[in-house]
Amino acid sequence: MAVAVAQRIRLSYSKYWYAYAMIAPVVIVLGVLVGYPLVRGIYLTLTNATSLNVGRQIGVNHIPDSFDFIGLDNYADVLWGPTAYDRFWSHFIWTVAWTAICVVLHYGIGLGLALLLNRKMRGRGLYRLVLILPWAVPTFVTVFSWRLMLADGGAVNGLLSFLHLPEPAWLSDPLAQKAAAILVNTWVGVPFMMISLLGGLQSIPQELYEAAEMDGASPWQRFRHVTLPGLRTVSSTVVLLGVIWTFNQFAVIFLLFGSGAPDAQILVTWAYRLGFGQQPSDYAQSATYGILLLSILIVFTTFYRRWLARNEKANG
Amino acid sequence: MSTQTAHQTEEPDQAGSPMTLTADRPAAGAATTERPAKIRRRGQSSPLATVLSHGTLIVASLVALFPVLYIAYISLGPDDNDYLHPAKIFDKMTFANYTKVMNDTGFFTWFGNSAIVAGGTTVIGVLIAASTGYAVSRMRFPGYRQLMWTLLVTQMFPIAVLIVPMYYILSNLGMLDSYTGLILVYSSTTVPYCAWLLKGYFDTIPMEIDEAGRVDGLSPIGTFWRLILPLARPGLAVAAFYSFLTAWGEVAYASTFMLSSDKYTLAVGLSSFVSEHDHQWQLMAATSVLIALPAAVVFYLVQRHLVTGLTAGAAKS
């Protein structure tokens, strides 16, 4: 007994040291490659840096930085400056709508398929394999394939014309572009939700369903009062991740439209375009968008987690 | 709907049944004699429900498969405009696009680069994510909450903010155009999620195992390495899959940080090759298939771990 106590004391003494040793690699990598860029990014937002006035190396000559510190002017300009609506708010509204629609579709379709896959049925393993497949295709490849399918005369419009439905110009009409982006992103994002929720369903104890059935609960009531509460923890995590990832979904929109389609650009791709897709590149404005984006997500996450905590308390 | 039907067959006399049932009571009484044939155990569903769920799953599977098959099919057509007339490809299928892409580019060099970078990211990323995940799963130390919050917030960083400063840092460290630099950059994007996921998985492994290891004289790191990691294989498989995929198909960072063409990754090299051959979609299609194949192999290797590995993470974090 005394030995055990002594050992415990010794272990707790060394505990922090081990913990810090184990997290050190991640802290260092993130500190250098994410922390420092963040600080520098914030600094850039307070300047008027563009690709014309930042320091650069031309041959053997080093040209030093020549941009100025301008305080919060970039933020003021992005949020309230002339044409702020076209430059920021319209993209902001579209980004929020895009995130909401995509996450609802991901979650809804993912949950539906997970419920089907959770039943005992023939060929379940095969269905599961095929349905996760979209996740394993590199985004680069996915988007290219969809571009071929969505092109005028491509497979999607072929199907629509076969069904005698209108055939929108997916890649050039502004509204259809948005629909196309949502369609592609839904295809990309459903497998992750489906698999996470399927696992969540499998972890709900069968006894709960048996008890509910004994009490005469209808299928809908069982879903509402057993399945959904049982999925609460999984759902809250995957929805949060889904919102973050969709909000920052760079690859799908960037690869689908390149530098065209100004209306369908969400904030991330728009920020990238300001920083890299034009001459001269406006690093300061691009970074300002980036920081605004990050702030929006942090505020959202803070409220979301507070809301979850309150819900948890309310539900005991 | 289906289970409701099952209910009515099983308990026709239940109080509060709909009017129609009450009116049919004599008939229902007659049905009792046949009941043994109709009874269904819980979890079994009516034929209609089975047909409907198979139908839905088949449609969903087709939607999931179609884009992949479509691009593979297009890649077999030899001419520029074949993608507009897919039906015509059937008569003239050829692997010419593949031989062209493989012979006219540094395909095998780029493939090697991609394998090094994606493999390196997977190994390094998963290792450091696992050690962090273990630390936050088992130990409470000052800074714990801040670290968890950082791991979440790091996932929110838009690429546009990071890419220019990252370029400066890598150039100052002399890591531009090097495998190490790109591997570290990719690790910084995959590690936060992987650590989060693995923490959840480690949480499901009973503490008693650690305690047993410690009593037998293993250090915390020894316990982690010898006991916990082998038990966490499904979680590790998912983390590895995620890291590999992220690194394998990524273009933006790779095209910014890898400057010389013999250091290009497969995705960067092939897309630069295709952009030189403007609108040669059939080459692009063949390229895509070539990029997707290794990812498919990795996917096949880990897929049976995906459900358990992912969920533990989501359920507990």
What's the CA gap between A272 and A281, in Å, rounded?
10
| Contacts made by residues A22-25, CB under 8 angstroms, sequence distance 24+ | A22/B131, A22/B132, A22/B134, A22/B135, A22/B220, A22/B221, A22/B224, A23/B131, A23/B132, A23/B135, A23/B136, A23/B147, A25/B128, A25/B131, A25/B132
- For residue B132, the chain A residues in CB contact (below 8 A) are 22-23, 25-26
What's the CA gap between B117 and B124, in Å, rounded?
10
User: What is the model's pLDDT at position B291?
Assistant: 87
> With an 8 Å Cβ cutoff, are A140 and B288 in contact?
yes
**Residue A13: inside a domain:** yes
What's the CA gap between B309 and B315, in Å, rounded?
11
* A216/A151 same-domain check: yes
> With an 8 Å Cβ cutoff, are A218 and B4 in contact?
yes
**Cα end-to-end distance, chain A, whole Å:** 38
Q: CA nearest A99: which of B156, B241, B189, B60?
A: B156
Tell me how far CA of residue A252 lies from CA of A118, A144, A234, B222, B270, in angstroms: 30, 10, 25, 42, 18
Domains of chain B: 1-45 (no CATH), 98-316 (1.10.3720.10)
- Which tens digits make up the pLDDT trace of A178-212? 999 999 999 999 998 998 898 888 888 888 888 98
Residue A30 contacts B where some CB pair is shorter than 8 Å: yes
User: What is the model's pLDDT at position B11?
Assistant: 40
* A288/A198 same-domain check: yes
* A90/A58 same-domain check: no
* A100/A209 same-domain check: yes
> With an 8 Å Cβ cutoff, are B60 and A131 in contact?
yes
User: What is the model's pLDDT at position B125?
Assistant: 93
* A51/A88 same-domain check: no
**Tokens in use for B81?**
């405009």
Residue B178 contacts A where some CB pair is shorter than 8 Å: no
Domain with A248 in it: 82-314
What's the CA gap between B222 and B205, in Å, rounded?
16
Tell me how far CA of residue B82 lies from CA of A129, A163, A207, B73, B193, in angstroms: 31, 23, 57, 10, 41
A250 C-beta neighbours (distance < 10 Å), count: 17
Residue A33 contacts B where some CB pair is shorter than 8 Å: yes
* A96/A44 same-domain check: no
What's the CA gap between B233 and B240, in Å, rounded?
10
Query: Please, which residues 92-121 of chain B have a Cβ atom closer than 8 Å to chain A?
Result: none
Query: Please, which residues 40-69 of chain B have a Cβ atom closer than 8 Å to chain A?
Result: 42-45, 50, 53-54, 56-57, 60-61, 63-68
> With an 8 Å Cβ cutoff, are A149 and B45 in contact?
no
Query: Is residue A258's pLDDT more than 50?
Result: yes
**Residue A74: inside a domain:** no
**Residue A246: inside a domain:** yes
Residue A235 corresponds to which amino acid?
A: S
Q: Which residue of B has its CA nearest to A230?
A: B315
Q: Which of B151, B161, B264 is the best mutation test for A, with the most CBs of A within 10 A?
A: B161
Nearest CA to CA, how far is A152 from chain B (Å)? 8
Q: Which of B14, B150, B310 sits opposite A196 (nearest CB)?
A: B310
> With an 8 Å Cβ cutoff, are B71 and A213 in contact?
no
* A301/A234 same-domain check: yes
What total number of domains does chain A contain? 2
Mean pLDDT score, A34-63: 79
CA A230 from centroid of its chain's CA atoms? 24
**Cα end-to-end distance, chain B, whole Å:** 34
Q: Please check whether residue A117 is in contact with residue A131, taking contact to mean a CB–CB distance below 8 angstroms.
A: yes
Sign of the CA dihedral A241, A246, A249, A252? positive
Q: Please check whether residue B269 is in contact with residue B105, taking contact to mean a CB–CB distance below 8 angstroms.
A: yes
Q: Which of B45, B61, B66, B164 is the best mutation test for A, with the most CBs of A within 10 A?
A: B164
**Residue A73: inside a domain:** no
> With an 8 Å Cβ cutoff, are B288 and A144 in contact?
yes
Residue A110 contacts B where some CB pair is shorter than 8 Å: no
- For residue B315, the chain A residues in CB contact (below 8 A) are 199-200, 203, 233-234, 237
User: What is the model's pLDDT at position B28?
Assistant: 42
Nearest CA to CA, how far is B277 from chain A (Å)? 16
Residue A25 contacts B where some CB pair is shorter than 8 Å: yes
Q: Please check whether residue B266 is in contact with residue B291, taking contact to mean a CB–CB distance below 8 angstroms.
A: yes
Residue A67 contacts B where some CB pair is shorter than 8 Å: no
Q: Please check whether residue B309 is in contact with residue B237, taking contact to mean a CB–CB distance below 8 angstroms.
A: yes
**Residue A288: inside a domain:** yes
Identify the burial level of A257 via C-beta atoms within 10 angstroms of its C-beta, where 0-12 means exposed, 13-18 middle and 19 or more buried: buried
* A159/A271 same-domain check: yes
> With an 8 Å Cβ cutoff, are B156 and A283 in contact?
no
Q: Which residue of B has its CA nearest to A146?
A: B67
Task: Point out the domain boundary residue: A29, A63, A97.
Answer: A63
> With an 8 Å Cβ cutoff, are A250 and B141 in contact?
no
Residue B153 corresponds to which amino acid?
A: V
What's the CA gap between A79 and A191, in Å, rounded?
37
Residue A3 contacts B where some CB pair is shorter than 8 Å: no
* A150/A282 same-domain check: yes
> If pLDDT is split at 50, 70 and 90, which confidence band does A9 have?
low
Query: Is residue A116's pLDDT more than 60?
Result: yes
Q: At A285, which CATH number? A: 1.10.3720.10
* Cβ contacts of A253 within 8 Å, gap of 6 or more: A181, A264, A265, A266, A268, A269
Q: Which residue of B has its CA nearest to A30?
A: B188
Q: Which residue of B has its CA nearest to A17?
A: B141
**Residue A75: inside a domain:** no
**Residue A124: inside a domain:** yes
**Residue A164: inside a domain:** yes
User: What is the model's pLDDT at position B26?
Assistant: 42
User: What is the model's pLDDT at position A11?
Assistant: 59
Q: Output the tens digit of pLDDT for each of chain B's 317 residues.
A: 344 444 444 443 444 434 433 344 444 444 444 444 455 555 556 788 888 889 999 999 999 999 998 888 888 887 777 777 777 777 777 888 888 888 888 888 989 999 999 999 999 999 999 999 999 888 888 888 888 888 888 888 877 678 878 888 888 888 888 899 999 999 998 999 999 889 888 888 888 888 888 888 888 888 888 889 998 888 898 899 999 988 988 888 888 888 888 888 888 887 777 777 666 778 888 888 888 898 888 888 888 787 777 766 554 44
Q: Please check whether residue A233 is in contact with residue B315, taking contact to mean a CB–CB distance below 8 angstroms.
A: yes
**Tokens in use for A153?**
């005369």
- Secondary structure of residue B254 in the 3-state scheme: helix
Residues B297-307 as b/e (b if ≥16 CB within 10 A, e otherwise) read: ebbeebbebbb
- Which tens digits make up the pLDDT trace of A122-171? 888 889 889 988 888 888 888 888 988 888 777 888 888 888 888 888 88
* A221/A90 same-domain check: yes
> If pLDDT is split at 50, 70 and 90, which confidence band does A232 have?
confident
Q: Please check whether residue A118 is in contact with residue A222, taking contact to mean a CB–CB distance below 8 angstroms.
A: no
Query: Please, which residues 288-307 of chain A have a Cβ atom closer than 8 Å to chain B?
Result: 289-291, 293-294, 297-298, 301
DSSP state of B92: G
What's the CA gap between B259 and B241, in Å, rounded?
27
User: What is the model's pLDDT at position B22?
Assistant: 39
Query: Is residue A41's pLDDT more than 80?
Result: yes
Question: DSSP per residue over B153-213, as a string?
Answer: HHTT--HHHHHHHHHHHHHHTT-TTSHHHHHHHHHHHHHHHHHHHHHHHHHTS-HHHHHHH
* A21/A118 same-domain check: no
Residue A198 corresponds to which amino acid?
A: L
* A51/A134 same-domain check: no
